[in-house]
């Protein structure tokens, strides 16, 4: 039995009509941005239909780049907490172990006007009182250590950039040691400037703070790491020869909390040991060890491990100290989860002269040009630092250069100039200083050249040690330029005082001479002869 053939014409016309209807509907969908990629309007009826996309072309509102409520901070409460928790205590705060008293004074430095990089990228100081100039004066003249805290993200993890910043500043202005090293961290193996071996510690990162016990969660320092010991937990730090002057360390400071009575042991250079009985208190303690040379230091909790919190140690010499406080994936706002009292107490022990803020890389997105909300957070960061570290000038580093892959290859991320403007504005509004990292990198060819030279990773985002060295050199040039201006101004003032004193001295000498002359002789000078 033969089946008659079906007529598909009717169905074809229905399918075509449906397709046209869908395409017409798509034509009315406004331009979109998906994953940072801009999609233009699909208009198959462009000869018949026109659209006004002027509204779509206007800057869009800032997308939800972060949860603002999660990063809420009450600055008035911060100030009150710092004031309440930093009042003098009867309990001993500092435990000293002096194997040699360093009585030598740090010599005044003369900055070198020669640059490491051909193009100078200067620091922009927006403070009314010239805080960067004051820091440069301290760098040149202070007889004590000059301390710099470098707060950043994965861009400087492992002491990238800061290792070379430290080396150059210590070479120019004296100093030694690797700065801060945490009590324990899974990332210590990646750091080349200090070797850390730890046992018996449970360590928590501030970015995973919710997993930490409540007591630890409430006592984070800006380093981003807290460590809880088991009985007998220990850490040994040892200097390396990765950079110059790391072995020129004469003082080591160990920071910790001991709310209960505890006993700890410190071993210097694997040879000399001393035990310390720590009375229980909520204050931040430090054990300061001074010796002709600190090559290694070991710290062990003998008793009282319960509720004990270990932060780490600072290795320093007489001169510049650079502490690396980097936290991976941090956009800067994690500092609001730190304990401001802990920050202020450690600052009371150390006394920072400059705090550098290097953030924004984890916020910036392709196609996003509005960072108003993040700029407000930067302003809060600066104010928070000013509360916790009142002795320090604050320097905001503009976002680094970054490239993204396009159909034409790798090109600079379009969001960079916008982020830089918002960061600069935040620094200006809070009286901080600003340094455009991206400009410094582009003076050396930009991220694409960094990758080609082997100075950055193939993600076109993160620099390596070789790239960090070049960025550090540019920043050192900027600091040296400020120091040179401060030195020149001080020399001009000295010469002016000398000249003024010479004039005063000449007038005074003339007056004395006149007073000593015989009156009769002066009177007879013009008497005519008879």
Catalogue all structural domains in the chain, each as residue range(s) with its CATH number. Answer: 75-492 (3.40.50.1110)
Provide the 3-class DSSP secondary structure of residue 355: strand
Q: What is the pTM of this model?
A: 0.82
Residue 16, φ and ψ in degrees, nearest 5: -65, -40
Residue 471: closest CA among 440, 447, 446: 440
Total Cβ atoms within 10 A of residue 30: 10
- Dist CA 78 CA 76 (whole Å): 5
- Dist CA 417 CA 363 (whole Å): 14
- Dist CA 308 CA 259 (whole Å): 7
Kindly tell me the number of DSSP H helices and DSSP E strands found in the chain.
13, 20
Q: What is the DSSP string of 262-276?
A: EEEEEEETTTEEEEE
Q: Would you write out the chain's pLDDT as a tens digit for each of its 530 residues?
A: 444 445 545 555 565 566 556 555 555 555 554 434 344 444 544 444 443 444 444 455 676 676 666 677 888 888 878 887 777 778 999 999 999 766 666 778 888 778 999 999 999 999 988 899 999 999 999 999 999 999 999 999 999 999 999 999 999 999 999 999 999 999 888 899 999 999 999 999 999 999 999 999 999 999 999 999 999 999 999 999 999 999 999 999 999 999 999 999 999 999 999 999 999 999 999 999 999 999 999 999 999 999 999 999 999 998 999 999 999 989 999 999 999 999 999 999 999 999 999 999 989 999 999 999 999 999 999 999 999 999 999 999 999 999 999 988 899 999 999 999 999 999 999 999 999 999 999 999 999 999 999 999 999 999 999 999 999 999 999 999 999 998 888 888 888 888 888 777 777 877 777 777 665 444 444 555 45
CA torsion sign, 156 to 159 to 162 to 165? negative
Say how many CA atoms lie within 13 Å of 437 toward its Cβ.
31
Helix or strand run (H / E) with residue 323? strand 320-326
For residue 104, count CB atoms less than 10 angstroms from its CB and return exposed for 0-12, middle for 13-18, buried for 19 or more.
Answer: exposed
Give the gyration radius of the chain's Cα atoms.
Answer: 32
Residue 432: closest CA among 505, 356, 501: 356
């Amino acid at each position: 039995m033969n089946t008659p053939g079906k007529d598909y014409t009717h169905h074809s016309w229905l399918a075509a009509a449906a397709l046209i209807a869908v395409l017409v509907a798509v034509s009315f969908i406004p331009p979109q941005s998906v994953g940072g990629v801009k999609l233009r309007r699909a208009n198959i009826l462009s000869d018949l239909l026109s659209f006004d996309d002027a509204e779509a072309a206007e800057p869009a509102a800032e997308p939800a780049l972060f949860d603002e409520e999660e990063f809420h901070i009450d600055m008035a409460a911060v100030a009150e907490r710092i004031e309440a928790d930093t009042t003098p205590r009867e309990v001993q705060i500092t435990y000293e172990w002096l194997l040699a008293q360093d009585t030598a004074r740090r010599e005044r430095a003369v900055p070198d006007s020669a640059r490491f990089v051909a193009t100078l990228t200067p620091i922009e100081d927006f403070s009314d009182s010239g805080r960067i100039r004051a820091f440069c004066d301290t760098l040149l003249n202070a007889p004590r250590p000059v301390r710099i805290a470098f707060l950043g993200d994965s861009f400087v993890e492992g002491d990238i950039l800061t290792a070379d910043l430290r080396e150059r500043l210590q070479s120019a202005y004296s100093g030694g040691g690797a700065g801060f090293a945490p009590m324990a961290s899974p990332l210590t193996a990646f750091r080349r400037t200090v070797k850390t071996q730890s046992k018996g510690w449970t360590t928590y990162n501030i970015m995973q703070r919710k997993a930490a016990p409540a007591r630890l969660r409430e006592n984070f320092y800006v380093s981003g790491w807290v460590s809880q010991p088991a009985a007998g937990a220990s850490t040994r730090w040892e200097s390396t020869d990765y950079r110059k002057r790391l072995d020129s360390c004469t003082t080591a400071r160990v920071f910790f909390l001991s709310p209960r009575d505890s006993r700890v042991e410190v071993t210097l250079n694997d040879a000399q040991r001393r035990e310390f009985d720590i009375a229980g208190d909520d204050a931040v303690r430090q054990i300061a060890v001074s010796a002709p040379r600190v090559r290694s230091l070991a710290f062990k909790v003998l008793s009282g491990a319960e509720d004990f919190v270990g932060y780490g140690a600072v290795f320093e010499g007489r001169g510049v100290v650079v502490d690396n406080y980097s936290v991976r994936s941090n956009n800067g706002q994690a500092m609001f989860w730190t304990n401001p009292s802990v920050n202020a107490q450690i600052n009371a022990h150390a006394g920072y002269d400059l705090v550098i803020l290097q953030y924004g890389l984890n916020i910036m997105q392709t196609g996003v040009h509005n960072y108003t909300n993040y700029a407000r957070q930067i302003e809060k960061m600066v104010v928070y630092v000013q509360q916790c570290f009142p002795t320090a000038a604050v320097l905001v580093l503009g976002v680094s250069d970054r490239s993204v892959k396009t159909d034409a290859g790798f090109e600079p991320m379009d969001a960079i100039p916008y982020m830089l403007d918002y960061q600069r504005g935040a620094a200006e509004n809070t009286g901080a200083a600003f340094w455009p990292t991206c400009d410094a990198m582009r003076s050396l060819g930009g991220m694409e050249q960094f990758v080609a030279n082997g100075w950055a990773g193939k993600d076109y985002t993160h620099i390596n040690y070789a790239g960090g060295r070049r960025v550090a050199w540019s920043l050192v040039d900027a600091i040296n330029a400020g120091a040179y201006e401060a030195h020149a101004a001080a020399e001009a003032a000295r010469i002016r005082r000398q000249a003024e004193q010479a004039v005063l001295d000449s007038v005074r000498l003339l007056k004395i001479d006149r007073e000593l002359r015989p009156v009769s002789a002066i009177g007879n000078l013009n008497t005519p002869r008879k």
